[in-house]
Chains A and B, each alone.
Chain A
Amino acid sequence: MEFALSEDQRMLQDSISGFLKDNASLDTIRKIADGNAEAKAGLDAGLAEMGIMGLYVPEAMGGSGLGLLEACLVQEALGYTVAPSGFLAATVAADLLAKDQATYASGIADGEKVFGLALTELASRRDGSGVTADNGRLSGTSLLADVPTGATHVLVADTSGACHVASGWSAKPMRTIDRTRTFQELAFDGVAAEASTQSDPSALAVARLLVAADTLGAAQAMIDKAVEYAKERKQFGRVIGSFQAVKHLCAEMAAKLEPARALVWHAAYAMDTKDPEALVMANLAKAHLAEVGTFVAKTATEVHGGMGFTDLLGLHYWFKRIGVNRQLFGSPEQVRQTAAELQGLVAA
């Protein structure tokens, strides 16, 4: 038995973190948040060059054939630097399409096809929106779609929970608290579904687990920043990090986040090895990271005092990353409901 990252996994972590450290600095993130398309394109191109988009695509389809654990490590690194990326969309699409739509999956791997996700329907159906499929034609709207710049296709869930590949849509931006990432309302006007697949609970679980990994990274960054700040900032003639009240806030953040990291690894490993509890664990990870992340986001901000509240340090980008992640693909309560259903704890 070994519950630890392998040498290869640590190298993957190092290379992606190294790249992001240089190419997704706070400066770059600010530019992207302010709508600077050039900055965004630069980051996208660099990430594509790293070859991560096909990470989760099976080798036989031209991908790297790595697991969800590796995907989570990449997503964690993205969260750590609040870097926007189409990685999550590519990975979830790969999960759904590798089963019976190999050409699309290989398209993701060679960069020819860039996928967006319009899967809200799987988690949150709303009155007044929703996509229906009628004789292979898609119509209606999907909210909070995650569509990377340059997307050639979207994977869209209809009101029955089936998923379709489409390449024609119109998009209207949806402004959220997180300006580093774009979310859109997509409208489909009788466009043909190029391919269709029954969704299964795995796709949603993959999406949720990746979001959990993203929050893990963002929360770790907030703890690191809080601890570092506390070791430098002086009040009453001493560093604030020597005040026990401040130390205990930092200890509480670390004490909650460290086991959450193990949970993300364990859930990802379980998904990769088709453990019977895998889906439960992935959902538990999403809900748990949402709670721990929220605690860290608030607490780390408090440790920074007024600085935490200002735009000067940009800490709020992490706060908002975590805030958006908490709701994406379902609020913690919704996700826990899924976990309960998967365990047969909900009366039919």
Chain B
Amino acid sequence: MELNLSPEYEAFRQDVNRILTENSHLAPGPEDRGMKHPKRLAWQKFLIENGLTARTIPKEYGGYGAEPDLLKSRIIAEEFARTGIARPMGGQGISMLVPTLLELGTPEQKEAYIRPTLYGEMIWCQGYSEPGAGSDLAAVRTAAVEDGDDFIINGQKIWTSTAKQADMIFCLVRTDPDAKKHEGISYVLFSMETPGIEVRPLVDMTENANFNEVFFTDVRVPQSGIVFEKNKGWQVANATLTHERGMLGDPNATKARFLELVELMKAETLNGERLIDNPLLRDRLIKLQGEVYAMQANGLRVTTASLKRESAGLAGLIVKLQGCELNHQIAGLAIDALGELGILYGEGDHLRADGSWQWRYMYDLGLIIGGGTAQIQKNIISERGLGMPREPKPAKV
């Protein structure tokens, strides 16, 4: 156990903190809406150029080109959490596709896609789920039939986040209908501008239409968009999902929200009493604090395992399940603490924190479901973590 940072890392932390605080006026706020808002793009560029995001991605692909150093990445994440300054862009392109391309993409794919994606100029959506393929993702049916150098794609995706804004899609399609379920899938990249693609927004419970249905009718795309190999898309998809689950349980993001909740409870009063002075609310707060600290310590353990290139075992497998649930509970307590005013949403004079707690309470529930539901996580924990048997296949009738 050694959690003190060496002087080199301590100096690095101070540098990061200084760069962030000195330039916080450049950071976009909630009012700068739109994924490609100039302020957002400029901030992203600033962060990349200062090595505060895309840090270990090679310079030739638009990254900062530093040696991988998990500790530094961690320090950066912690400083964003501590200062509350707008984080770098995330999203499925940056968090999921870029690492996948770095691992499995062709030189041309890396060249063409990584830089604009990192700079926020190329937005991606993830075309995995279909009406008949949710948790059972390998059941995808969207068909890609070869035609010369192209595929002709027909079918439908659903729950595709940001499809409306996306320039590109990474998509799971069935390229061999006769192969076994997992062996006939390919992972293909193509432009959302391709003729024959229709995007229909779906409004979600937060009143946003971030989700979409995406319909493909005779969509002609080049076969060169295949990542890795034809019919090996299942392996590629799994690589991407690992990145997604890592992103979904980040304990530093959880800690930042917890601190916001503490501030809320100190600032807001009810019947003349600060919320934090209500012993029942305070007890719930400290109860969550125990969980937040536990997840943080767990995160340190996982980081250490990755530094040593060891498996973190159960400590790693539980992150998505526990982290998303905890975020949801933090938002739930904020709403209860606000009491009657906790129900306000959207706009209005008495709205607290822009209504973000209600938004999070709903959105975090979405994240408990998305990226592998809580139940699927429990299957994984019990099977891979505890060595319990898989559910037997039902007998054929």
A interface, CB within 8 angstroms of B: 1-6, 9, 69, 227, 230-231, 238-239, 241-242, 244, 247-248, 250-252, 254-256, 258-260, 262-263, 265-266, 269, 273, 281, 284-285, 287-288, 291, 332-333, 336-337, 339-340, 345-347
Contacts and interface: CB of A to CB of B under 8 A. Distances in A.
B136 interface: no
Q: Contact size class for B?
A: 35 or more
27 contacts: A1-B4, A1-B71, A3-B304, A69-B1, A231-B389, A242-B389, A242-B390, A247-B386, A251-B385, A254-B318, A256-B322, A258-B298, A258-B318, A259-B295, A259-B297, A265-B297, A266-B296, A273-B4, A284-B289, A288-B294, A291-B287, A291-B290, A339-B289, A340-B285, A340-B286, A345-B282, A346-B277
A238 B392 CA distance: 9
B84 to A, nearest CB: 19
Contacts of B2: 1-2
Nearest to B4: A273
Interface stretch (B48-56, B353-361, B375-383): B375-383
Nearest to A247: B382
B256 interface: no
A79 B168 CA distance: 55
B382 A265 contact: no
Contact of B298 (A1, A250, A252, A262): A262
B395 to A, nearest CB: 11
Nearest to A4: B304
Interface in B246-300: 262, 274, 276-277, 279, 282-283, 285-287, 289-291, 293-298, 300
A340 B9 CA distance: 31
Given A262-B294, A266-B297, A333-B283, A2 B385 contact: no
A98 to B, nearest CB: 21
B391 interface: yes
B386 A255 contact: no
Given A244-B375, A259-B297, 7 more contacts: A1-B71, A6-B1, A247-B388, A262-B294, A263-B290, A266-B3, A273-B3
Closest 3 CB pairs of A and B: A288-B290, A262-B297, A3-B300
Contacts of A248: 375, 378-379, 382
Contacts of A4: 1, 301, 304-305, 308
Contacts of B387: 227, 231
B5, B262, B290, B390: which has the most chain A beta carbons within 10 Å? B290
B219 interface: no
A276 B339 CA distance: 33
Given A248-B378, A336-B287, A281 B293 contact: yes
Nearest to B9: A1
Contact of B286 (A3, A256, A336): A336
A69 B297 CA distance: 14
A69 B307 CA distance: 22
B378 A252 contact: yes
A241 to B, nearest CB: 5
Given A251-B382, A258-B318, A244 B391 contact: yes
Contacts of B322: 255-256, 259
Contacts of A269: 1, 3
A266 B322 CA distance: 18
A43 to B, nearest CB: 30
Contacts of A285: 290
B261 to A, nearest CB: 12
B315 interface: yes
B389 A241 contact: yes
Contact of B5 (A1, A242, A347): A1
Nearest to B385: A254
B95 interface: no
Contacts of B305: 4
Given A262-B297, A266-B293, A251 B386 contact: yes
Nearest to B5: A1
B231 interface: no
B303 interface: yes
Interface in B156-209: none
Nearest to A231: B388
A4 B297 CA distance: 10
A30 to B, nearest CB: 28
A6 B304 CA distance: 12
Contacts of B343: none
A241 B379 CA distance: 11
B282 A242 contact: no
